[in-house]
Amino acid sequence: MRAVLDSSVAIKWVLPEPGTPQAVRRRNEFRRGLHDLRAPDIFSVEVAHALTRAERRGVLQPPLSIRRLSAVLRFPPRFHPYLPLLPRATAISSTTRHGVYDCFYVALAEREGIPLVTADQRLLNNLGPSFPFLVDLASLP
């Protein structure tokens, strides 16, 4: 499977949450070369943000976020520079009134003509009707 991987899926690789089994399955298949996963290069920043937020909420104890970030980045998706995606991500964000960070993933999937796998229900609810290539992680085996 060729797909854009949302950071919401990668977080589930290192934090037990609903959808973790599906996310871990995708990661393990990716490691075996069964998937071609891509992401805008803001992916690393988004993963780091989610992990430090988990520390602030008491889900992780410092400095676990650094170790978990290293675990995610041990086998990262193929990164695409965000700057060429910026005009389209901004246009999507402006039109849909959705956060621009999520729109980078949508813009990349649109440009590449491949699905965007996400566990972000807000993204699915807000943009799914306009962008049918968004795939809910929970719908995957």
Compute the distance between CA of residue 27 and CA of residue 49 in angstroms, rounded to an integer.
20
Predicted confidence at residue 59, as pLDDT, reads: 93
Provide the percentage of residues in the chain whose pLDDT is more than 90. 98
Place of tokens 């803001």: 42
- Measure the CA dihedral 41/112/105/87, to 10°: 80
Kindly report the pTM of this predicted structure.
0.95
Closest CA to 7 of 49, 63, 64: 49
pLDDT bracket for residue 141 (50, 70, 90): confident
Task: Give the model confidence (pLDDT) of 49-107 as tens digits.
Answer: 999 999 999 999 989 999 999 999 999 999 999 999 999 999 999 999 999 999 999 99
SS3 call for 79: strand
Place of tokens 């003509």: 113
2-139: what CATH class? alpha beta
Residue-range domain boundaries for the chain: 2-139
